[in-house]
């Protein structure tokens, strides 16, 4: 993970995300990591049907597929979990840089 991304998680306590391969051709998918109040970090995935994203349409929780992948103690452990999901940790960044819609 790049230093500025680690700093975003640790110092500003803000989330990061990266695109990942979706489970279906009809969805877009991301992996995201965010700091928890207890100092740990949660890593999750999210998939959203393409029409909602492509048409900039409103959507609700029932339209989103979220999967909690792991809760880890350190930023370094995020890299391992992200790699296991098939994503290069170097691609993690601020959510607006990879069109993360949430």
Tens of pLDDT along the chain (102 residues) come to 999 999 999 999 999 999 999 999 999 999 999 999 999 999 999 999 999 888 888 888 888 999 999 999 999 999 999 999 999 999 999 999 998 887
Position 86 scores a pLDDT of 95
Position 18 scores a pLDDT of 97
> How would DSSP label each residue in the chain?
--HHHHHHHHTS---EEEEE--SSTTEEEEEEEEE-TTS-EEEEEEEEEHHHHHTT----GGG-EEEEEEEESSHHHHHHHHHHTT--GGG-B-GGGTT---
């Amino acid at each position: 993970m790049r230093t500025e991304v680690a700093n975003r998680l640790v110092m500003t306590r803000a989330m990061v995300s990266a695109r990942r391969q979706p489970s279906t051709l009809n969805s877009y998918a991301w992996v995201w990591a965010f700091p928890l109040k207890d100092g740990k970090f949660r890593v999750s995935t999210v998939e959203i049907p393409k029409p909602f994203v492509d048409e900039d349409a409103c959507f609700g929780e029932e339209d989103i597929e979220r999967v909690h992948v792991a809760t880890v103690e350190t930023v370094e452990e995020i890299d391992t979990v992200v790699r296991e999901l098939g994503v290069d940790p170097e691609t993690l960044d601020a959510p607006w840089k990879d069109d993360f819609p949430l």
